[in-house]
Structure 1
Amino acid sequence: MDRLYYRSLCLLDNMEQTKITFAKEIGFRKELNRRVKDYFRSENISPRDNPAMYLKTAVLLGWMISAWTFILFAPVSGWMRLIGCVILAFGMAGFVFNVGHDANHGGYSNNKYVNYILGLTYDFMGVSSYLWRYRHNVLHHTYTNIPGHDVEIDGDGWVRMYPTQEYRWYYRFQHIYIWFIYCLVPLYWSYCDVNLILSKGKYHNHVIPTPKLSEKITLLGFKVIWLGYVIGIPLAVGYTPWQVFLGVAVTFMTYGLVINIVFMLAHVLDSAEFLTSESEQIHIEDEWAIFQLKTTVDFAPKNHFINWYVGGLNYQAIHHLFPKVCHIHYPKIAKIVQEVCQEFGVEYKVYETFGGILSSNYRWLKALGRAPATTKRVSVVNSTV
């Protein structure tokens, strides 16, 4: 994973495209890192490999296996099976939020092989972990909310998420139809993975690091495995093609809706900042860590269920600052971040409720759906070109 990350950064630095630089650190990140290290040292705990995380993994794994078994083999009615599909979808989303996400960031275990194996659960669910680590770990985490670099705010022409994105007439309805698009994203990603590896080869102008033969085999092989347990096994045990189609649709559309709502909330909203300049050279007059706090928002820190279920993604700002720390530590680290932010005069943005941040996300998408002349423009104010 580290090899991919550093190889990717080297490619970014050498590409003929917009050059983005951040200001020299003023001590904010250094002080923040020092206090977090002191916290782990004083509490005598590890940033990774925690028993609480092992227990959560077992619970979520049991959730998925029992739901899948129930759907296929339990002597129940068709409606009960569809309810089982919804339950399975929420289990899959929970496993992605908690286990797969931490592992693909290197935040689950100190052992890179454990992280790699658990990270492959993304592939098992239909999405390439190899491509995800480049798209998410490198492009999104390094260039958060910077158009043309952060792939996570690119809607492939279907959704307008940032102020300088080209306007299309149908965006006026995006705050309505985006909920349906969320449902289709997992199946769309499964197709795009193959297209990116075999044909396109890049996100925007960022060339995807050439995968080894073993990495290509893993990506394509897991596509076959995914089709096998999603379609092949149900057909083999006697379900009709129509029943299989309906079950797959309900499961993956529910799964897509859940994961995309959660992943979208922390960056695409009216209180996050976006870089709006499109010059060839951009210098952001904030150190990288402060820039992350301007473009990322936390939510529902006191909601115990959300804290457990979304794997720390409601502490998205903390995650961006410490992506290789297991998410179970984020509530404690958030208090440290808040203290350092107050000392350095940096705003740490938090929505107290899930409903509050969801409303903000909805307002932002609706605002960007209007013609550009009436759209609120939000930018990183401390930037020069």
Structure 2
Amino acid sequence: MGLTADERWDLVDRVAGKVVSTGVSRRGLADALGDLTVKPLTGLPVALAVLYAFWSVFCSFAGDLVTDGFMVKFFDNHWLPWLQSAWPDPNSIHYFLFVGDPLADNCFEAFGVLTSGLFVSIGVVLPAVLIFYLTMTLLEDSGYLPRLAVLADTFLHKIGLHGYAIVPTILGLGCNVPAVTATRVLETKKQRFLMMTLLAIFVPCGAQLGIMLAVIPDLVGWVILYLLIGFAVFGFLLDRLIPGENPEILIDVPPYRWPIRENVTKKLWNRTKGFLKEAIPFVWLGILIVNVLYLTGVIQALSNLLAPIFITWFGVPSETVAPLIAAFLRKDLAVAQLSTIAMTPYQMITSVVLISIYFPCVATFVIMLREGWKQLLAAIAVLAVVVLTYGGVIHGIGILLGVA
């Protein structure tokens, strides 16, 4: 026989009485900090301080301490001279492919698989990725990322996203591959497509940031500024052009807690291992392919063909064709190659921005394809329009300022 409404409520009260305990809630320091870091008035300064600290640690550890302090000295003073002396026949094709320029005095300019390939991937990129993932994991496990999502919600809603899109955005600063996968947390197809497209175009990975800090440290701020402006402007336009809904954010904000060492270590190893497996082989393959294209004359032919567009519309040398080809394999490799081309500072800024907004690297391309070939084709179409439009706009700004 079924229970009456009163009997059901009596049953609920008895069950609740056995499992729910009541008392006076005592607020601690973690609760107070949780409130302060989620309210805009106090949370935004804290967010800026956290991001500034993150950037400072990233630059100091990856750039100054590891790369400049140890890796440059090891590769340029020991590894490169040994390879040049031990490898037979400096005039051979295999020497050009694997060691590079026999007259080079540093691994950046040598551009061989065993010189630039090892230095870029292990000497520059690996320290940058390692410190990024460590900092990311600490912010994630401490409970700060959800609060950052709440703070970012107002701005991200202006471009058709909501606050939790900050998570794939920050992941993209480490690597776009897991970032594209993380777009699945967004509710609608419109938001997932919008986030995936903006990631592929305007969010540079940690490897690319590490190379930029190594070769153009004084210009990184300008490159990031142009990418942020492009992210906001084209995100705003795409939100108006793409049909679909923009639901409100619904997110669980956990209390602050100390990260558990075992969890941090496991996440750091898994993410770094993924980089070692997916990124480094493409760096070596990219150098090998670009060198083969140089030997066969393909690079020179493409440079001659595309010279009017690059010189007239983008305002950069035609030699940037080779880095653009390398960018399909690894954008960090492409930025490293740009450092060997003679350019003005503004041309370098324009070229690095073009590399950043150019076609996503092959690993990201594959992940985007897994998300759906129709979305990938649409994203490529948007990307082509953005590259031509924004590249021309940046050149136009340089002409107006008299620095192009």
TM-score strictly above 0.5: no
> Which structure has the higher relative contact order (CA within 8 Å, separation 6+)?
1
More helix per residue: 2
Structure possessing the higher radius of gyration over alpha carbons: 2
More strand per residue: 1
Question: TM-score w.r.t. structure 1 length?
Answer: 0.26
